[in-house]
Structure 1
Amino acid sequence: MRVYLLVMVVAAAVTFLLTPFSRWVALRVGAITAVRSRDVHTAPVPRLGGLGMTLGFAVAIVFASRMPFLEPVFADDQQAWAIVGGAAMVCALGFADDVWDLDWMTKLAGQVLAAGAMAFGGVSLITLPIGGLTIASPSLSLFATIFVVVLAMNAVNFVDGLDGLAAGIIAIGGSAFFLYSYLLTRQASSTDFSSLATLVMAALVGICVGFLPHNFHPARIFMGDSGSMVLGLLMAAAGIIVTGRIDPATINDPGTINRTQAFPAFLPIVLPFAVLLLPLLDMALAVLRRLARGKSPFAPDRMHLHHRMLALGHSHRRAVVILYVWTAVAAFGATALVLWPWRQVLLWTGVVAVVALVVTLGPLRTRLKILDDDGADDGAPADLVVDDPASPAPAPGAPAATSPSAAPERTAR
């Protein structure tokens, strides 16, 4: 554990120190996020934070490769370097997008190319730990790997809409994944605790922690696509290593792992989705919403989860912290299945989720109470009035009615 924590510290320190350099580069090349109609920030902010994060990850992996404890990770194959190469390719793609604003087809093609290169380097889905299912076709394995990696990259990119949100969510979810992978490694072997997935998660959490001081509200730099896509790729890579490279016999053998309590057979499948629950949910809702309106799934709007949190009345920081809590509930709730019986885990996870829901909807209750008090003071019914598009417009010269919806629209980046 101490070795992984040391790698995490190295990744955090290098990222923290290199992020000002990334900001300087962004200012020199003009990679600056202007204020748009859907944005929260009120002044232009440089992006390219992903440059420092990618360099921090690469330095952490090189540092780890020199440690005797982790020699088995680098001796078996080139998976670790394939992940570093994939991250570098995605960072270069994001760099180009942050500077020149690439169209979505070009970005998608670049994402597929990076995911494919990583798959050819050995990071690919081969087995699924459910009934010992094996993906026999190399073409199908390649397709499944590319799909998972591209999905994760875009999910993290979608949720990167508030200062500190994406980095914090991945840091929290990555910590849960790190804990699970480490415990799985210890349970599977009593002598060799080295694991590529655990190493990747340690470095991933480290670069997020190192970047957050520069990115938390009010942010001095955004991670940009060069950062969000790298985070998604690294999370997907670790998930593939755990989910698609694990020996099914290890999961299915009751003598090796206690399936009834410690390591349910389905957990390697569930945990990656639990870690990325908010990004995946936000992306799914956005795609369905836009397609239902006849728009491109990549068309921006102001209906993301973080936009809705602001619309409820939460401040910028409070909205981010609440989304952190929901990520922790899902990720650590799933990880808790490793340690405790599932009934006990579901009970406590449900209790925490109810508390989180009350906090999330708190401003709505306050709003309804204010409307109720205003209606009582005016002698009018205390019913909540919703703007009706079909209602007649006010007469010429009459003062416009005021309502919460008439306030200037807040923006979100």
Structure 2
Amino acid sequence: MREYLLTILVAALVAYLLTPSVRRFAVWFGAQAVPRDRDVHVIPTPRLGGLAMFGGMVAALVVATGLPEMRKVLGDGGISVSKALLLSGGLIVLIGIADDRWEVDALTKFAGQVAAAGIFIMQGIQIYVIPLPTGDSLSLPPAYGVPLTVLVVVATINAVNFIDGLDGLAAGVVGIAALALFSYAYLLSRTNGLTTLTAATLIAAVLFGMCAGFLPHNFSPAKIFMGDTGSMLIGLLLSASTIMLTGQFDPAILANGLFPFFVPVLLVPAVAAVPFIDMLLAVLRRTSQGRSPFAPDKQHLHHRLLQLGHSTRRAVLIMYFWVGLLASGLVGLVLFDAAWITLGVTLLVATGGVLLMLRIPGRRKSARGAAAGPGDRPADRPPMHV
């Protein structure tokens, strides 16, 4: 655990300390989000926050390679984890910088994402097996494993990119997802007497540290946005941890919980449910209207929360709540024998969350309506990134 805590701390500190310098560079470079008709933020805000997060990742990997046991993990089984993350992450960051400054077209970004997935595959990060409920594992030949790996990488990157619409939203949601992945992999390994030092666990730890270090600068009101540089980068790392966790555990050892055999497959979709659902709804909505699935609009889940009357911060915290609840509930089902108790507590907390979401904004909205005209912007709602 000490090795993981050290890498988390290094990633967080470096990302936190680099962000002010990156902010000044973004202003000088001209990479700023100028308010548009569909935006809610009202002042130009620097982008490129992903550069600081990338710096945190690089620093954490450098420290990890200096630890004897971690060095073995990073080069275990013919998989060069450090090389894969640096090459693919560097490519994604370069594309993100170009997009944050000059707005790259969707096809170019998609090609870059596929190329990043290709780097993963060449370095050995690929889906090779899928656990089955029978206790066996289904081996995937390259003809199936390669396209499935590309699909997971591209889908995860775009899911995170889609949800990057409010101050601190993407960093917080991905940070919670990374923490859930880390907890799942570490605690399950320890409970079953397996080694706790794995590449998938390390990637999740580094990702959590990156998000934690950047979030203080990005939470509402944000001083800097992560931009596509950051959203694509953290989506890439989230997909890497997902891929490497798939098939890592023998289904036979997952004896605890309500869904013992499906947990390795369901965990990441569960913790990433909010961005994935938002992405799928956006694609369906836009294509049904005859528009490009990449065409922007203001009908994301976080926009709907604002329409209910929630402030920016409350909308972000609500999204944190649901992601955290899904993640902790599923991890609890894995680690505790009392599965029905875990499920019951999760449903009870979810019910309370729904009631609070629906009741509190009504009172706030009616109070605002009496004080503000239809064209006024509420005074307590800070600028947001959309």
- TM-score normalized by structure 1? 0.86
| Of 317, 325, 331, the match for 1:329 | 325
Deviation at 1:172, TM superposition (A): 1.4
Q: 2:54 aligned with 1:54, yes or no?
A: yes
Query: For the residues of structure 2 that align with 1:185 and 1:367, how far apart are their CA atoms?
Result: 46
Q: 2:297 aligned with 1:293, yes or no?
A: no
Query: For the residues of structure 2 that align with 1:13 and 1:406, how far apart are their CA atoms?
Result: 42
Whether the 8 Å CA contact 1:80–1:196 is kept in 2: the answer is no
Deviation by residue 1:130-186 (Cα, 9 ceiling, x = unmatched): 243434321321100010000000000000001111001111121111100101322
| Of 181, 186, 205, the match for 2:190 | 186
Q: 2:134 aligned with 1:162, yes or no?
A: no
Deviation at 1:200, TM superposition (A): 0.7
Q: 2:352 aligned with 1:355, yes or no?
A: yes
Q: 2:335 aligned with 1:339, yes or no?
A: yes
- Tell me: CA distance 1:408–1:19, structure 2 relative to 1, closer, same or farther (3 Å): closer
| Of 195, 200, 206, the match for 1:197 | 200
Deviation at 1:332, TM superposition (A): 0.9
Query: For the residues of structure 1 that align with 2:374 and 2:299, how far apart are their CA atoms?
Result: 15
Q: Which residue of 1 aligns with 2:16?
A: 16
Whether the 8 Å CA contact 2:310–2:361 is kept in 1: the answer is no
For structure 1, the residue ranges without an aligned partner over 5 or more in a row are 375-402
Deviation at 1:116, TM superposition (A): 1.1
Greater CA deviation, 340-349 or 205-214? 340-349
Query: For the residues of structure 1 that align with 2:140 and 2:179, how far apart are their CA atoms?
Result: 32
One-letter amino acid of the counterpart of residue 88, structure 2 = G
Deviation at 1:299, TM superposition (A): 0.7
Whether the 8 Å CA contact 1:38–1:412 is kept in 2: the answer is no
- Tell me: CA distance 1:60–1:304, structure 2 relative to 1, closer, same or farther (3 Å): same
Q: How does 1:1-40 map to 2 (within 5 A)?
A: 1-40=1-40
- Tell me: CA distance 1:4–1:150, structure 2 relative to 1, closer, same or farther (3 Å): same
Deviation by residue 1:221-256 (Cα, 9 ceiling, x = unmatched): 10000000111111111011011x425xx222xxxx
One-letter amino acid of the counterpart of residue 357, structure 1 = V
Q: How does 1:114-129 map to 2 (within 5 A)?
A: 114-129=116-131
Whether the 8 Å CA contact 1:19–1:49 is kept in 2: the answer is yes
Whether the 8 Å CA contact 1:12–1:210 is kept in 2: the answer is yes
Q: Which residue of 2 aligns with 1:97?
A: 99
One-letter amino acid of the counterpart of residue 224, structure 1 = G
Whether the 8 Å CA contact 2:283–2:293 is kept in 1: the answer is yes
Whether the 8 Å CA contact 1:278–1:327 is kept in 2: the answer is yes
Q: Secondary structure, in 3 states, of the residue corresponding to 1:361?
A: helix
One-letter amino acid of the counterpart of residue 259, structure 1 = A
Query: For the residues of structure 2 that align with 1:46 and 1:133, how far apart are their CA atoms?
Result: 47
Query: For the residues of structure 2 that align with 1:306 and 1:113, how far apart are their CA atoms?
Result: 30
Deviation at 1:74, TM superposition (A): 2.5
- Tell me: CA distance 1:188–1:70, structure 2 relative to 1, closer, same or farther (3 Å): farther
Query: For the residues of structure 1 that align with 2:343 and 2:116, how far apart are their CA atoms?
Result: 38
Q: How does 1:365-380 map to 2 (within 5 A)?
A: 365-366=362-363
Q: How many residues align?
A: 376
Query: For the residues of structure 2 that align with 1:260 and 1:176, how far apart are their CA atoms?
Result: 17
| Of 163, 175, 181, the match for 1:177 | 181
Q: Secondary structure, in 3 states, of the residue corresponding to 1:294?
A: coil
CA RMSD of aligned residues (A): 2.3
| Of 253, 262, 267, the match for 1:266 | 262
Whether the 8 Å CA contact 1:50–1:224 is kept in 2: the answer is yes
- Tell me: CA distance 1:181–1:361, structure 2 relative to 1, closer, same or farther (3 Å): same
Deviation at 1:412, TM superposition (A): 5.5
Query: For the residues of structure 2 that align with 1:310 and 1:320, how far apart are their CA atoms?
Result: 10
Deviation by residue 1:62-108 (Cα, 9 ceiling, x = unmatched): 10111123233024231332123211111111111111101111110
Deviation by residue 1:21-73 (Cα, 9 ceiling, x = unmatched): 21122112211100011212110001000011011111101101111232330
Greater CA deviation, 4-13 or 128-137? 128-137
What is the percentage of aligned positions where both structures have the same residue? 44
Query: For the residues of structure 2 that align with 1:200 and 1:101, how far apart are their CA atoms?
Result: 29
Q: Which residue of 1 aligns with 2:141?
A: 137
Q: Which residue of 1 aligns with 2:238?
A: 235
Whether the 8 Å CA contact 2:286–2:293 is kept in 1: the answer is yes
Deviation at 1:263, TM superposition (A): 7.7
